[in-house]
Structure 1
Amino acid sequence: MQNFPIVSTLKHTLAHQAAHFFIRSQEVEGNLKDSNIPFRMFVFGQNDFTKNLLKRTYGTGFTVRREWRAFIPNLKKQIKTYCKSADLCVAVLPRESEIDYSGLYDCKCPELVQQIIHTSGGWEDVRNGFVQKKQQITNNFAERYGLEYRISHEQSDLDFFYKRMFVPHVERRYGKLAIIDSFADMQRFFEQGMLLFVTKNGVDVAGALSLIQDGKLIFRRTGVLDGDETHVEAGAQTALYYFQLRYANGNGLHAVDTMMSNPYLNDGVFRHKKEWGAEVSPSNDYMTWAYFFHGTMNEKLATFYDKNPLTIQTEAGMKGLVGIPLEASVSEKMIQDIKRRYHCRGLNGFVLFTPAGMQNVA
């Protein structure tokens, strides 16, 4: 029994060392989601990003042809070989690996993006960054819906927020897939921050646990009373965003950090934050890039990027990569439509992927 800690430590050390030399890999086939278009992909690295990528690409209808641990020093050679027969190869690797893959990968994106809403200036300056619909909703918002907010540092309020708001909200939203922070984790956040409650007729109906660091309000966790969104006619998330922004603006904070989102331009969470005027930037949480290596420039890849438009990192900063299937030439009308649908603060233009090639537009 006395040797078990030594064995455990040795296994952990060996696993850590092996991670520098081997990467979990998959060969996957199936039809692109909501289509009858077959799509073959090699994925190097198994984590939340690649799992989400597979789900977005195929839904549940894909087959894993094989799984193995690829030897990282030989990975570049393997990718060159696999790209000859696959539609796409994707590898999640440390950012310092870029020098080894420069000239081989076609684009790269972060695993997650950061979205920050600037709150300097007057309240109308902040509102001017919202999309038109949000500007309309937030006009006389509190008065129209009979809502107010309050700030709390009371331990009893944390207990109430956790048990009556946070846990029910997560369970109702995610069901059996819910991952619930422990109360101890929530306590640590609380000791560094505060609770903001949205109230109606004197009753707390929604809440947010936030931190204040470096002049920013950091949105950590949210909840709704008994997990019931109908408590707030305008929507609990809308009310929480509105009052957090009002608090930050009124207390001299320069931004609200809405935390991380998936790097897809049509992701629901990404879009919701964009509507509030959030500026996108790469997250440095993992210090990795997801490198995309194209097989052949064809309609299948254009359809893939049409369904999965990405925020990519380029020498000119972040851009949106959007697919246009079936169209060899891109009209001005199509460009304007893409800008209308996907433009957000922080993007320095778009890269359009068509079967004929990739085209940069400002």
Structure 2
Amino acid sequence: MKHFKNMVVEWVISRLSGKAQVLVPRYGFYVWTCLGLQGVPVVLLRGPTLPSGQNGTLLVAGHDPWVAYLPNRFFIGEPQRELVGNVALRDLPVLLDRLREAADLTIVRADRLSAETFFGKDYLAVPEWIDMRLALAGDLDGLVRSNRSIREDMRLVRKHKLQPLVTEREERFDEFYDSMYVPFSRDRHGDMAIIKGRQELRRFIRKGGILWVRRDNQPLAGVLYERKQDTFNLLAIGMTSGELPLKKRGIMAALYYYSIQHARQSGFTEVNFRAARSSLHDGLFRYKRKWGNALFDNPNSYYDLLIRWNSVNGIVKDFFSHTGLVFRDGGRLSAIHGDETQSRRSLWIEGLHRLYLLTACGRQPMIDEGVPVKRNRSHARFSATLS
């Protein structure tokens, strides 16, 4: 029933247009919270933590499965759960302050307006999702040559003889939706999958089409795109099931490469690769980063994950070492991590305002935007306008 309610909410939001699609969810979730129409479950989670196996504790407020992303990166396996209670969000800060010392980290999932209204500045406001976009200002093949990982991916594209095909508007839409998009989304995201409705995507595709990746004229994957002014928006990715991991890697590279190529040839100035998790170490985030993407705030991400540590102990440092987080920093996006041995170059991405290191004294600035970060020339030239 809860999953059905979430699907209804997402469907209603998808039917809105223009500013209403941003304003109605933003203020609607806030009003829902203030009226106390839905209590927030609060739990204590305990168990061995990544990577050391040392026992740690999280104080978590929010609904599953949406709040589970960071706990899944914190623990080894399934933690023990102790239900504290269901609390109105406006009463939540007092309860969390009282229980603060019982946990290494506190994590709260709240809509953005409630997060700004009820919670103090001792929380990091981490967007649930951020946008990642690529400015088409350089040589695509130069980008491929400049990055060893992309070169290896493209070797797989050539090995499997993967080729593109573009269909316009609604041609073969149902085939893509039923055989690729829906099963791929469920396999990839499980309980956290938010599957866009058929009619919603059909509205977008009227201003776009589908770019397919094929082998021997057999479609293996596709991406549904929309033309929006000078931006080539990638809205939905699908893939046939049963592909081997290395082949999947080649297929994904082919989708990215041919999408960029098609956008450039069609005269677009930007490709919007859409949402990624707000973690420097998330797999999809890093994959998009290596293709030259920059960070942008996501206007359609209605929730924040609020993070607070009780003290910077070894468990907290370990967590931020393998899960650096992007957070709101005075109207901009900054990031924080906990591993002194990681180079700035390996963590920095265009669109960040500042990169912080978490120390025993709190967060310490490492680098600001505008300060040169040494990168090879082809990659820097391709990303020159991504700021």
Q: Does the pair score TM above 0.5?
A: yes
Structure-2 residue corresponding to 1:113? 130
Structure 1: distance between partners of 2:329 and 2:230: 29
SS where residue 257 of structure 2 aligns?
helix
In the alignment, does 2:33 pair up with 1:19? yes
Give, as a single letter, the amino acid of the residue that structure 2 aligns with 1:72: L
Question: SS where residue 350 of structure 2 aligns?
Answer: coil
Paired residue for 1:340? 345
Checking the alignment, whether the CA contact within 8 Å between 2:140 and 2:261 is kept in structure 1 is yes
Specify which of 44, 61, 69 is matched with residue 44 of structure 1: 61
Q: Check conservation: 1:208, 1:240, Cα contact below 8 A.
A: yes
Q: Secondary structure at the match of 2:335?
A: strand
- Cα distance in 1, alignment partners of residues 81 and 47 from structure 2: 9
CA contact (8 A) 1:87 1:300 kept: yes
Partner of 1:357: 362
* Alignment partner, residue 119 of structure 2: 101
Q: What is the identity, as a one-letter code, of the residue corresponding to 2:135?
A: H
The answer to whether the Cα contact below 8 Å between 1:120 and 1:253 also exists between their aligned partners in 2 is no
Match 1:299 to one of 309, 314, 317 = 314
SS of alignment partner, residue 102 of structure 2:
coil
Instruction: Indicate the larger mover: 286-295 or 164-173.
Output: 164-173
Partner of 1:206: 221
Gaps of 5+ in 1: 1-14, 325-329
Counterpart residue identity of residue 215, structure 1: D
Give 1:241's aligned residue: 256
1:60 equivalenced with 2:65 (yes/no): no
Aligned residue runs from structure 1 range 195-274, under 5 A: 195-225=210-240, 227-228=242-243, 235-274=250-289
Report Cα offsets for 1:59-104 as digits up to 9, x if no partner. Answer: 4331111142223333332222222332121222333342543343
Letter in 2 for 1:134: I
* Partner of residue 12, structure 1: none
Does the CA contact (< 8 Å) of 2:325 and 2:335 recur in 1? yes
The residue that corresponds to 1:134 in the other structure is 150
Aligned twin of 1:9: none
1:19 to partner: Cα distance: 3.1
* Whole-angstrom CA distance in 1 between matches of 2:78 and 2:47: 6
Alpha-carbon distance between aligned partners in 2 of 1:60 and 1:85, rounded to the nearest angstrom: 21
- Normalising by the residue count of structure 2, what TM-score does the alignment of the two structures yield? 0.73
Please give the secondary structure, in 2, of the residue aligned with 1:283.
coil
Distance 1:342 1:183 in 2: 37
Q: Percent identity?
A: 19
Q: Distance in 1 between matches of 2:360 and 2:225?
A: 46
Which residue of the partner structure matches residue 327 of structure 1? none
Going from structure 1 to structure 2, the CA distance change for 1:157 and 1:48 (only over 3 Å counts) comes to same
Name stretches of at least 5 consecutive residues in structure 2 with no aligned partner: 1-28, 368-387
Question: How far 1:302 moved relative to its partner?
Answer: 0.9
Question: Which of 99, 107, 123 is the equivalent residue of 1:82?
Answer: 99
Contact 2:312–2:360 at 8 Å: present in 1 too?
Answer: yes
In the TM superposition, what is the alpha-carbon distance from 1:113 to its structure 2 partner? 1.2
In the alignment, structure 1 residue 323 sits paired with structure 2 residue 328: no
Q: Secondary structure at the match of 1:297?
A: coil
Q: Distance in 1 between matches of 2:51 and 2:336?
A: 20
| Shift in alpha-carbon separation, 1:317–1:185, aligned structure 2, 3 A | closer
Distance 1:104 1:176, change over 3 A: closer
Contact 2:154 2:254 in 1 (8 A): no
Structure 1 contact 120–252 (Cα < 8 Å) conserved: no
- Report what 2:371 is aligned to: none
1:189-235 Cα distance to aligned partner (Å, 9 max, x none): 43342011234454444322111113211112223456536896971
Contact 2:180–2:222 at 8 Å: present in 1 too?
Answer: yes
Query: How large is the RMSD of aligned CA atoms in angstroms?
Result: 3.4
Paired residue secondary structure (1:235) = helix
Q: State the distance in 1 between where 2:187 and 2:314 align.
A: 39
Q: Distance in 2 between matches of 1:142 and 1:286?
A: 33
> Could you report, residue by residue, the CA deviation over 1:92-151 in whole angstroms, capped at 9, with x for unpaired residues?
23333425433432x2211111111111455468x3897443267659x98787554232
User: Post-superposition shift, 1:276?
Assistant: 0.6
- The residue identity in structure 2 corresponding to 1:101 is F
> 2:376 maps to which residue?
none
> How far apart, in 2, do the equivalents of 1:245 and 1:146 lie?
18
Do the aligned partners of 1:123 and 1:249 also contact (CA within 8 Å) in 2?
no
Q: TM-score, normalised by structure 1?
A: 0.78
Report the equivalent of 2:23. none
